[in-house]
Chains A and B, each alone.
Chain A
Amino acid sequence: MSTSFKIYLNKQTSAAPLAVFRIGFGVMMLFSIVRFWWHGWIETLYVLPKFHFSYYGFEWVQPIGEYTYLIFAVCGISAFFVAIGLKYRLAIIAFFLSFTYIELMDKTAYLNHYYFISVLSFLMIFLPANAYFSVDNLIKKKTFTSIPKWTIDSIKLLVSIVYIYAGLAKVNSDWLFKAMPLRIWLPSKYDLPFVGNSFMQQEWFHFAMSWSGMLYDLCIPFLLIVKRTRWFAFGLVVFFHVFTRVLFPIGMFPYIMIVTALIFFDADLHHRILGLIKTLLQPFKVNSSKFRTERYQYKNQKIILPIVALFFVFQMAFPFRYLLYPNELFWTEEGYRFSWRVMLMEKMGYTTFKIVDAETGQSFLVDNSDFLTSLQEKQMSFQPDFILEYAHYLGDHFKSQGHKNIQVFAESYVALNGRLSQPYVDTTVDLYKEKESFRHKNWILPFNDEIKGF
């Protein structure tokens, strides 16, 4: 390890930015959980469906009926504890576990920003986010005004990875030279006030949005890091995310990103924010002036640092796993998830399953709505791992009903980014015999087109 790096690791900085970040994160998460509950999505996504699509290797993570609400309650309460900084380490671990469990229950609901939350909360387990302005300070009568600088930088790095990888993913021919899928999505916003009838319909605007979206993602971390451009960059962050919120149903994500971007600012801004919170908390009459103030030092930095380093190596390498697979990534989606590929595709499919008795040749088609919710059917129809898992579920189901010599065949048509729908699955392959694995699924038919780029 070079000495300059050692010096960097020992560098201290104000604890205020991380405290503000912890509060913002906790409040946002609490709000997200409440919102999710309020919309009834726990019921529709996790309790009502008969069958859930699992991640490979995580088949054991299932909703637990009505008790699923309990997991959400744990998640919400731990988010609140994180926000106020009470039993922080325990709270953030509980949050990470409950939130990740929720996300693993059914991949139908997979969203990149949920993955972001999981990854971020994992990182936060190792950060002293309760060092300052937390209830833990009150209990221990001890507060830390400075913390290692790398802890704050690690969050900046994670956020930068997300933006830059999302930007790189946009460097592809569909996005840049066909303005796809924005060209499909934007004109359908015709009922927006002011812009709906004008900008949204114009081709130059679709291209402008595609290109500036790509440039935004690639540049914004640097603009946030450089002090001179920081406020300008923050203005862009707010504009960009609010604008996408108006256009697309993306829930809490824009607000989370806006709050997260505050981490890039210097400590005086965070002190002002905390000052504001203090005036709000005036009625509680907390006197913290007598607390001992210390510099926060890790007792076990030798263990923590390698974990964090490994975490980042993984974060940087994992999105490139798609290179190990043949065929077009957007088509096969092998290595698509967990890679910050956001809003890149307008993809729809229609997939039907035929149950065949291998001996008599008798067959019948399955009505998907007998087994899947509409959202599950929609997601299943164009994602190979869903198709395979569902084929096995159907095979098992009809076997238990007394059918014999079962074969399961799928007929599937998929349309990607405005191309005409085309056959997706080899109709001669018995999917009941195919096993899920990380290997390429050779029963996916070729794309017959090329999308250049990342």
Chain B
Amino acid sequence: MLKKIALFFGLALIVACSSSDDSSKGGATDNFDRSTLLTNLADNIIIPSYQDFAPKLTTLKGSIESFVATPNQSTLDATRKNWLTAYSAWQRLEMYNIGKAEALNQYYYYMNIYPVTVADIETGVSTGSYDLNAPSYHDAQGFPALDYLLYGVATDDAGIISKFSTDANAQGYKDYLMDVINQMDNLTQQVITDWTTIYRDQFVNSSQNTATSSLNKFVNDFIFYYEKGLRANKIGIPAGVFSTTPLPDKVEAYYNQEVSKALSLEALDAVQDVFNGKSFNGTATGPSFKTYLDYLNTNKEGQKLSSLINNQFDLARTEIEGLNSNFSTQITSDNSKMTDAYDALQRAVVYLKVDMVQAFNISVDYVDADGD
């Protein structure tokens, strides 16, 4: 009897092994080294992005100091230019809410929560009492606060300059502006120092499939940013997708009135480059979500999942490129184009959140219970 059973199982194994399947995966061992994916992310994308951003922020800080010292049109113009440069560079970083950035109780909370609450800023300016470390001030600092102070605090440039020179609260405005940039600079230095000293190795070596490994956390952060930071905040919320009416004053860089599209496109490029493992400085690509998907041979109805995702990103980019450079204007004139762009972005959420996560079969951070 025992022998028969052994024979039975043996035969079953042979049947199982020889049964044909068209999408067979080569490779006898696990050829995909996930730590090279993390290494590529850290060394060629994340750390270079920070190294690009930090000096730009320091330059911005310098020009703000000059502006505060001598508020005039030329110092204002220089500050605005540097603000935009830094803000664009920031779009490459917001998704890296991991390591020190996460430990600071979300670095991005202090950098880019919009729309700003103007009343908090104005009250802070006139009373001098405010606490940028308090959660209630997340929406009164960072790039959006600079946007307000540099573009929206008065109706024209002369008015803005006078706020920092002749206004009764001029010192208050100067202090607030300086406090905001100092906070941004200080936090950024902490994050970059952590990456370049201890965190890089921790990040690269944590490639297990557990809820707390950096690989899994990074996948979650990446998707979360795409869904929330990019799709919802930049396009969906102002277009009124989540409210009964459109909310044109909720666009990014609302007071600047010219760059909401440019910033969104930069963010989308950043997402796609991370997906493809494209170096920050150059065009070379390395191990990435894309190559991991290709390794797992995730073919869907004859199409590679990685191509479907890239195509969808491209489609979304085309939709966004067709929008007015100021989303506020676009929403007021023809909001349907905004919602079209939203829909294109949305379809990629499904690919990322459902198909890619299923292929990776990562332990997702939110499920803490037994399975079946």
Contacts and interface: CB of A to CB of B under 8 A. Distances in A.
Given A177-B21, A350-B349, A365 B367 contact: no
B21 A190 contact: no
B103 interface: no
Contacts of B367: 374-375, 378
A421 interface: yes
B240 interface: yes
Given A112-B372, A362-B245, A197 B362 contact: no
Main secondary structure of the interface of B (DSSP, over half): loop
B209 A190 contact: yes
A25 to B, nearest CB: 18
Contacts, number: 154
Interface residues of B, number: 58
Contacts of B5: 219, 223, 229, 232
A311 B209 CA distance: 43
A350 B301 contact: no
A350 B353 contact: yes
Contacts of B349: 350
Interface string A356-395: 0100001111110000011100100000000000000000
Nearest to B352: A350
B156 interface: no
A66 to B, nearest CB: 20
A189 interface: yes
A138 interface: no
Given A350-B349, A350-B354, A204 B17 contact: yes
Given A184-B358, A196-B30, A212 B369 contact: no
Interface string B231-269: 000001000111111000000000000000000000000
A332 B135 CA distance: 44
A342 interface: yes
Interface residues of A, number: 69
Contact of B354 (A41, A362, A421): A421
A72 B21 CA distance: 48
A198 B210 CA distance: 19
A44 interface: yes
A207 B134 CA distance: 56
A208 B24 CA distance: 15
A109 B209 CA distance: 23
Given A362-B245, A364-B241, A189 B209 contact: yes
A197 B30 contact: yes
A276 B241 CA distance: 68
Interface in B265-297: 296
Given A201-B27, A207-B16, A421-B354, A248 B245 contact: no
A107 interface: no
A419 interface: yes
Interface string B10-35: 00110111010100110111110010
B356 to A, nearest CB: 10
A441 interface: no
Contacts of B27: 201
A431 interface: no
Given A226-B1, A367-B242, A378-B366, A343 B30 contact: no
Interface stretch (A55-63, A76-84, A154-162, A410-418): A410-418
B371 A248 contact: yes
Contact of B305 (A187, A223, A365, A420): A420
A188 B209 contact: yes
B201 to A, nearest CB: 18
Contacts of A346: 358, 361
B168 interface: no
Given A211-B13, A367-B242, A413-B354, A249 B2 contact: no
A348 interface: yes
Contacts of B16: 176, 204, 207-208, 210-212
A359 to B, nearest CB: 13
B350 A413 contact: yes
B106 to A, nearest CB: 16
B30 A415 contact: no
Interface in B56-89: none
A198 B30 CA distance: 6
A178 B16 CA distance: 10
Contacts of A373: 366
A421 B21 contact: no
Nearest to A352: B346
A197 B29 contact: yes
B354 A414 contact: yes
A345 B240 CA distance: 37
A362 to B, nearest CB: 5
A113 B241 contact: no
Contacts of A367: 242
A378 B353 CA distance: 11
Contacts of B372: 111-113, 250, 342-343
A10 interface: no
19 contacts: A109-B369, A111-B371, A111-B372, A112-B372, A184-B361, A187-B296, A188-B209, A211-B12, A211-B13, A211-B16, A215-B8, A229-B2, A232-B2, A248-B371, A250-B371, A343-B372, A362-B245, A366-B242, A375-B366
Sort A-B residue pairs by CB-CB distance and give the 10 closest, nearest first.
A374-B366, A251-B370, A420-B300, A188-B361, A211-B16, A207-B16, A191-B208, A201-B30, A413-B350, A204-B17
Interface of A: 39, 41, 44-45, 109, 111-113, 176-179, 184-185, 187-191, 196-198, 200-204, 207-208, 210-212, 215, 219, 223, 226, 228-229, 232, 248-253, 342-343, 346, 348-350, 357, 362-367, 373-375, 378, 413-415, 418-421
Given A188-B360, A204-B16, 5 more contacts: A184-B358, A229-B2, A362-B245, A375-B366, A418-B359
